Chains A and B, each alone.
Chain A
Amino acid sequence: MTWQRRHVLATDDWSRAEIEQVLDQTGAMVEVLGRPIRRTPALRGRTVILFFAEASTRTRVSFELAAKALSADVTNITASGSSVEKGETLRDTVRTLTALGGDVIVMRHAASGAPYFVAERTDAAVINAGDGWHAHPTQGLLDAYTLRGALGDLDGRRIVIVGDITHSRVARSDIDALVPLGATVTLSGPPTLVPSAWRCGMTPRGTTYEPDLDRALDGADGVIALRLQKERQHAGLLPSIREYAKTWGLSEERVKRMRPEAPVLHPGPMNEGVEIAASVAHGARSLIETQVTNGVAVRMALLYLLAGTPEQVA
């Protein structure tokens, strides 16, 4: 199958075949990363611009390693180094990015939908590295890859996503990657942190909501814990972090409710002792470090696929 997409903004409209193609390419990239010399010449002469209008060392470094493993030239534009903080509009920034002549723009932005704005106004391919609460497609794909590696086929598997669903682009992109692969997703978390529509029976296709984490975990095939932003407490959405940890934190006891060997994932960075106990984060079921390696590989796969796409796909 020839790759047709020009941008990676969200995977909500991707077919199963497209997701599988990326995951298969990711497998080849994982092998490249295991070589003594982790650098192939595939994207020599191509420029990847990393535009991070919101701080995120982990994702930015992951993309940077991915681009360099393919020999692309990398230009970093971070919030502090650019004019974003000086009140420059996104429209102005797009003009600058276009003038820099990047082949691929990797962008992180606090506003949901900002990558669509940029993609409409530039010739470069755009990869969304996280926009507001909306999407973080490379995280969704790397989680799907990691779970597929641990569980084999995801058809009929049930994965729990627990935490602050409302404000989580990771949750949305995990759903958008896992459900097309045949998995079902059980969402769990405080009712104040789950979109009202999703609590009232109108959950996305392939998902359900179960506020009781113990019940959600019973017999599950894997769990993804989300990072809890501590400011949610100040916004009146949570009585206390302590109560959250007790009610929706992944403890060792809780994790045992899942099937034996069912893996534990977390997009990082973790608040150990809040959404996940240290013993779980570093325990036998944890794939959190594997996620980091797979993250570089999935980003290599996407950079490779996009940079190899014809300049103008109709």
Chain B
Amino acid sequence: MSGLADLERDAAQHGWLVSPGFIDLHAHLREPGFEESETIATGARAALAGGFTTICAMPNTEPAIDSPGLVAEVIARGAAARAARVLPIAAITRGRLGKELADLVELAAAGAVAFSDDGAPVSDGQLFRNALEYARASGRPIFEHSQDLALTADGVMHEGVVSARLGLPGMAAAAEETAIARDLSLARLAGGRLHLSHVSTAGGVELVRRAKSDGLAITAEVTPHHLALTDEWVAGSRAFAWEDGGDRATPYETSTKVNPPLRTASDVRACWAGLMDGTIDAIATDHAPHASTRKDVEFQEAAFGISGFETAVPLLLAGVAAGWGTWDRVVEALTTGPARVLGITLPENDRVVIDPNAAWTCDAAALVSLGKNTPLLGRALIGRVVACAVDGELRFDLTRIAAS
């Protein structure tokens, strides 16, 4: 275990930031079923390049992770990759079809750390109530993707001035807010541990804030892209929420298509405020890699999702530099926050080392993930993960990669 001590000495010399390894509550690793987009191994390596030493794999694979055997398989493949620690999330409902509950107790026993039908909400209120109640027996939280599907029927971006201008069907903020309101009501009724995935609207943040002040034991996460980018990016802007002007890209870039959609600057502001006052517990990437065939199409046809592991740190550092948050709180939301959501203690010997001043270009070759679908592609970013250790073992070392 010489790695860890050397690492910390090196970091101190360079003025690099050292912190416990980051935990990502929300990642799509695509295996099994969509291995051209990502595999458990490539995803786990990309996670390390982004500073995440523990990642929770979403079960919206093909087949969906809804049986103990599949949970075990994800764990086995994750361990074999010897990169980031991979924790499986299992489906709430069989086949993620939203019809009947999966065997939540057995899934937990097999190692599922949480349940989620992410990508789709559990629209049936009674079923969702049952899930919350029954999951108490498993001791695991429910991660809910809060979206009213009827309100977002054909929507492909945030509904607002930009969608009106671009002539694209919108997804109103209200579609997230009404779903969160329902989820909170049911959590109040059912008890259990509800965790809200990727909250992206000012209204959503406010609902969570009020529920928490009422004493409801819920948790919530926000993504780095919802803490930096706005719906203007769909129209070609490349200015962060706290910037004016900047360069422009072609409008309708499918790399800006993500669900929940990129919102307005005031939503971004509200997400930071929620993060800072503890309303939001965790920052999770919603890493959603896609093969180019699913993105090299018309905007309305393109798959939702941003490849997010490797750009999280520079986005968050930029927000901190702009004065919208503090680095200490960001680190909490990447470490102790998500650990509390999962009910685990921080792995003692996981570390991430960040050079906060490193300038690098986020091009396809620089990204470890198979998913090159990020609107930051080709852009100069500041701040980069230099090294990661998992269980005291140096598993990611940028200097060595650069040398080789």
Contacts and interface: CB of A to CB of B under 8 A. Distances in A.
A117 B293 CA distance: 14
B300 interface: yes
A12 B165 CA distance: 9
A111 B160 contact: no
B139 to A, nearest CB: 43
B12 interface: no
Contacts of A166: 164
A25 to B, nearest CB: 27
A195 interface: yes
B298 interface: yes
A229 interface: no
A304 interface: no
A176 to B, nearest CB: 10
A204 B298 contact: no
A296 to B, nearest CB: 25
B252 A112 contact: yes
A109 B250 CA distance: 18
Contacts of A100: none
Contacts of B163: 195, 197
A113 interface: yes
A202 interface: yes
Contacts of A131: 167
A114 interface: yes
B168 A133 contact: yes
Contacts of B250: 116, 120
Interface string A118-135: 001000000000011111
Interface string B156-171: 0001110111111010
Q: Name the residue among A12, A91, A112 with the largest chain B CB count within 10 angstroms.
A: A112
A91 B161 contact: no
Contacts of B272: none
B297 interface: yes
Nearest to A194: B164
Interface in A246-267: none
B164 A112 contact: no
B298 A109 contact: yes
Nearest to A119: B250
Contact of A111 (B159, B293, B296, B299): B299
Given A132-B167, A172-B165, A196-B159, A116 B251 contact: yes
A135 B165 CA distance: 9
A131 B298 CA distance: 11
A112 B168 contact: yes
Interface string A188-226: 000000011110001010000000000000000000000
A90 interface: yes
Contacts of A57: none
Interface string A163-181: 0001001001000000000
Contacts of B166: 112-113, 134
Given A113-B251, A116-B250, A117-B252, A132 B164 contact: no
Contacts of B252: 112-113, 116-117
Contacts of A96: none
A312 interface: no
Interface residues of A, number: 26
Nearest to B153: A235
Interface in B284-308: 293, 296-301
Interface residues of B, number: 21
Given A169-B167, A195-B164, A197-B161, A91 B296 contact: yes
A114 B298 CA distance: 6
Contacts of B159: 196-197
B164 A113 contact: no
B184 interface: no
B297 A133 contact: no
A120 B251 CA distance: 11
Nearest to A169: B167
Contacts of B299: 111-113, 117
B161 A202 contact: yes
A173 to B, nearest CB: 10
Interface string B234-263: 000000000000000011100000000000
A111 B161 contact: no
Contacts of B297: 89-91
A117 B301 CA distance: 12
A126 to B, nearest CB: 12
B172 A112 contact: no
Interface in B128-185: 159-161, 163-168, 170, 172
Contacts of A12: 165
A116 B236 CA distance: 11
A166 B167 CA distance: 7
Nearest to A53: B298
A91 to B, nearest CB: 5
A286 B277 CA distance: 61
B167 A172 contact: yes
A116 B165 CA distance: 15
Contacts of A120: 250
B251 A198 contact: no
Q: Name the residue among A111, A113, A120 with the largest chain B CB count within 10 angstroms.
A: A113
A198 B168 contact: no
Nearest to A120: B250
Contacts of A112: 166-168, 252, 299-300
Contacts of B251: 113, 116
A211 to B, nearest CB: 16
Contacts of A195: 163-164, 170
B321 to A, nearest CB: 30
A197 B173 CA distance: 12
Contact of B300 (A91, A111, A169, A172): A111
A204 B161 CA distance: 8
A114 B168 CA distance: 12
A204 B159 CA distance: 15
Interface of A: 12, 89-91, 109, 111-114, 116-117, 120, 131-135, 166, 169, 172, 195-198, 202, 204
18 contacts: A89-B297, A90-B301, A111-B301, A112-B168, A112-B299, A114-B298, A117-B252, A117-B299, A120-B250, A132-B167, A132-B168, A133-B168, A195-B163, A196-B160, A196-B172, A197-B159, A202-B161, A204-B165
Given A113-B168, A117-B299, 7 more contacts: A113-B299, A114-B298, A132-B167, A134-B168, A196-B164, A196-B170, A197-B160
**Which 6 residue pairs spanning A and B have beta carbons closest together?**
A113-B252, A133-B167, A134-B167, A195-B164, A111-B298, A112-B167
